[in-house]
Amino acid sequence: MFGINIIGTGSYAPELKITNDDMAKIVETNDEWISTRTGIKSRHYTNGETTWKMGLKAAEKAVEAAGISPEEIGLVIFSTITNDFLTPSCACLVQDAIGAKNAAAFDLNAACSGFVYSLDTAKRFLQTDDDLKYVLVVSAEVLSRIVDFNDRSTCILFGDGAGAVVVERSEKMYSSYLSADGNGGKVLYATANFPTHPFRTNDADDFGEGMDRQDGYLFQDGKEVYKFATKALPTASSKAAEKIGFDIKDADWFIPHQANIRIIETAAKNFGVSMDKFIINLDKYGNTSSASMPIAFDEAVRDGRIKKGQKLCFVGFGAGLTMGAIICEY
Ligand code: UT7
């Protein structure tokens, strides 16, 4: 089987820690509501650090853990929905700063499924390009840039952070499933707003039907996203497992997108799998979109919970709408 070997992990969260009690100072909320509805206790926000610079910090740790020279990296994939620039990509900035001078680089946007989409893209590049030795996958987000701090139902959920992995080709077990439903785009979106040209006569941008919030802040229909997420998590994992005849109960660890503890508990119940098999850190970081899985993964690798040879299931779901899962051996 063509698979991947994850040879290095890294993560980074900015210093500024915001507790639920801190959130209660700016919106009408309280620790009890946030904890019971989401499982989140605190999150980290940047104090001016940009997405690519946070990604760079996670990437440096992953490259160091991999014990490779940056010049051996042939591709940098950076997943984010909160790019610092429309161009250049965050991937190009990391490629330069880390000294990966022989690497191609591009950004990938699949929202909270971004890490799974990127890791699977890395695998496919490795599979089709014999000259490619190592791929650096980075996921980083500054969601505090786009959340509306007047909207208590969304601002309490999100945080900032970054995670990264270095991968090479291997013969290990591997399967993936990716899917999208753009028709659900309107339940979770943020518009990109630009200056206009001097010849325009129409002030309104045509973003599409149902995309009524156009101020650049994140809009979320929480109930619809919740319904989608509780189905997406088991669907994506099962579809990836089915492809290789893998019994999902045999996974040693699930590394789910860290959105809401209730969504993860529902999936665990659905699979008949103990919550002890789920890597959870959303209590500390909130929902960091595409960065959530590689941060949780890096922590569990570094504290020794996840060990070489164990079978992993990464599973993500989010805006787009997108979902995806990877089953692989660590
Ligand atoms: O990575 C992207 C994936 N996104 C997600 O996974 C989010 C999925 N959705 C959710 O996790 C949940 O829908 C939320 C946590 C966002 C909201 O939980 P809910 O159980 O769906 O609450 P709700 O929106 O139905 O609101 C229930 C009540 C409302 O008050 P009333 O109308 O019943 O009086 C809200 O106004 O809770 C109120 N409320 C709050 N109260 C205190 C909403 N936000 C807050 C808050 N603090 N922060």
**Domains of the chain listed by start with CATH number:** 3-172 (3.40.47.10), 175-329 (3.40.47.10)
pLDDT reported for residue 270: 87
pLDDT score recorded for residue 193: 86
What residue owns the CA closest to ligand 1's atom 39?
Answer: 153
**Residue whose C-alpha is closest to residue 114's, from 316, 258, 312:** 316
Whether 112 sits among the annotated catalytic residues: the reply is yes
Look at residues 168, 142, 115 and name the one whose alpha carbon lies nearest to residue 317. Answer: 115
Q: List, for residues 234-277, the tens digit of each pLDDT value.
A: 999 999 999 999 999 999 999 999 999 999 999 899 888 999 99
327 lines ligand 1 (CB under 6 A): no
Mutate to test the pocket of ligand 1, among 35, 37, 223, 231 (most ligand atoms within 8 A of CB): 37
Q: What pLDDT, in 10s, does the model give residues 114-131?
A: 999 999 999 999 999 999
| Residue 104 identity | A
Q: For residue 271, what pLDDT is reported?
A: 85
Distance 51 CA to ligand 1 centre (A): 27
Let me know: does 159 contact 45? Beta carbons within 8 Å: yes
Nearest of 326, 329, 318, 328 to residue 113 by alpha carbon? 318
- Exactly one of 92, 281, 287, 313 is catalytic; name it: 287
Q: What span, in angstroms and rounded, lies between the C-alpha atoms of 80 and 113?
A: 10
The amino acid at residue 1 is M
82 Cα–ligand 1 center, Å: 23
Predicted confidence at residue 16, as pLDDT, reads 98
Residue ranges of the chain whose pLDDT lies below 50: none
Of the candidates 256, 323, 320, 291, the one whose C-alpha atom is nearest the C-alpha of residue 144 is: 291
CB 169 within 8 A of CB 126: yes
**Token output for 235:** 């669907």
d(CA 137, CA 121): 10
